[in-house]
A and B are shown apart, each in its own frame.
Chain A
């Protein structure tokens, strides 16, 4: 039952997008999000959609996979659409169904929100689909490292994330083992209502937590024995370097921004 937890959603193929510097990808994702919010006119989502399609194609990601990334969001998207459609107010009436009025502004808003949500989710999943979690962590650390001057613990955060990623499979395996042990002693994790099932988790969680703390102590000792003393004076195995590929990616993003901002400037 616990076996099918996948770590992140990295899609391992080799593509120009996969090979982009993780810092560049994080920044591009950030810019893309700003870009999506810049759209004022509905048909201006078209260039954003084209950009997204191009990125997907370049990253050699199957399009159905992108659609799948929307699946966990489908309820939220539908809900947002309905809420905006029925509860918006405006000046131009489109449709009247008894006491419910649908306004043109309401419809526009609903469409805007839906497009935005879809584009944001699929866009950011390009980042997680093309970047292994550890590389992503690495990129985040490097991007956040200037914040160290205001005492933001960039290195510590990244180290925590790496260790979490390393230990998730180990702890999952352990949870599986404890579960089997408790089932063998008559524990029941599968039946009963929500409360009963939640209570049944206690004999699983307590040993798991105890073991996790013990592991943390061991690991801290082992890290110290291997001369770990925080981020200060540390060198890195993987050197991140901005390449021409990253420059091209940023130029393409700049292109998208020009297209998005052009109507406003021309007016």
Chain B
């Protein structure tokens, strides 16, 4: 296995039950080390199932998933795979185990048999990286949703993972919590070179990834940079996906005969585009 393909998925098919329709239907892609990939799709598109296949919580019905060269179907490597590809789930209340933040971060370390003496250093580091160090002694139920998710991320970071899979980790959070969590993960991706698979249905979040996979009916239907993906407004509509507001504005401008480009993702891009189209408009 080459070092560049960190997560490798080949002809992956998964059925919840042998007679059922395939939840994942012949998917292949590979993700390089250090990449930040967003997986988009509406409800039931198979994106959460894909997440659970990536760290061996589900095993492929056919095809293969390889994490850092280890196949998830190899029962002997299950635990190595799970500590390599850590996972954060949707509901912030249902993934913390202990009654104190500090103890919860220790949970994974206890499970993988890290010597007691080594734990405090790793826990402090993980809490520092997620900005939760000052809350170390608090009870999880007293934290905000965004803080709980950051504790969950810290719990995984302490295990020193190489990849982080976030299965709609921001879906139940308020806008501030969403921003907190996304910023934390973006920073970890940049600074620690952790590969990130960010599963979401929020376009604004996907727009900040390096690469976007769009899923529909268990297949990957689009794969590319966010600008490339979002400029295909009509196809996204067809998949019942929204486009970022600024991209939609560009599309509307085009429909009215303005020659705007469609790879506009945010307000800054739009300002640039408008300046290009009409240099005099933004004079003052």
> Which chain A residues have a beta carbon within 8 Å of chain B's beta carbons?
133-134, 162-163, 165-166, 169-170, 173, 214-215, 218-219, 221-229, 233-239
Contact = CB atoms under 8 A, between A and B. Distances in A.
B57 A170 contact: no
B155 interface: yes
A226 B156 contact: yes
B83 interface: yes
Interface stretch (B111-119, B202-210, B215-223, B255-263): B111-119
Given A219-B94, A235-B113, A228 B107 contact: yes
A134 B139 CA distance: 12
B100 A235 contact: no
B62 interface: no
Name the residue among A218, A227, A236 with the largest chain B CB count within 10 angstroms.
A227
A149 to B, nearest CB: 21
A32 B100 CA distance: 31
Contacts of A225: 55, 57, 82, 86-87, 89
Interface string B45-71: 000000010010100000000000000
B116 A169 contact: no
Name the residue among A163, A219, A237 with the largest chain B CB count within 10 angstroms.
A237
Contacts of B89: 218, 221-222, 225
Contacts of A169: 139, 141
Given A214-B94, A219-B94, 14 more contacts: A162-B97, A218-B91, A221-B89, A225-B82, A226-B82, A226-B107, A226-B111, A228-B107, A233-B113, A234-B111, A235-B110, A235-B115, A236-B110, A237-B110
Given A162-B99, A169-B141, A227-B82, A222 B111 contact: no
B109 A237 contact: yes
Contacts of B83: 227
16 contacts: A163-B97, A166-B96, A166-B98, A166-B99, A169-B139, A170-B93, A170-B141, A219-B94, A221-B57, A222-B95, A223-B97, A225-B82, A233-B113, A234-B110, A235-B119, A238-B116
A134 B101 CA distance: 13
A235 B109 contact: yes
Contacts of B119: 235, 237
B108 interface: yes
Contacts of A170: 93, 141
Name the residue among A133, A166, A219, A225 with the largest chain B CB count within 10 angstroms.
A225
A173 B141 contact: yes
B80 to A, nearest CB: 9
A162 B99 CA distance: 7
A163 to B, nearest CB: 6
Contacts of B106: 237
B52 to A, nearest CB: 8
A130 B143 CA distance: 26
B267 to A, nearest CB: 36
A233 B139 CA distance: 27
A134 B155 contact: no
A218 B87 CA distance: 12
B226 interface: no
Contact of A166 (B86, B110, B114, B140): B140
Contacts of A237: 103, 106, 109-110, 116, 119-120, 123
B99 A134 contact: yes
Nearest to B123: A237
Contact of A215 (B93, B103, B114, B139): B93
B79 A227 contact: yes
Contacts of B87: 222, 225
What 9 pairs between A and B have smallest CB-CB spacing? A222-B95, A218-B94, A237-B106, A227-B111, A169-B141, A226-B108, A225-B87, A215-B94, A239-B116
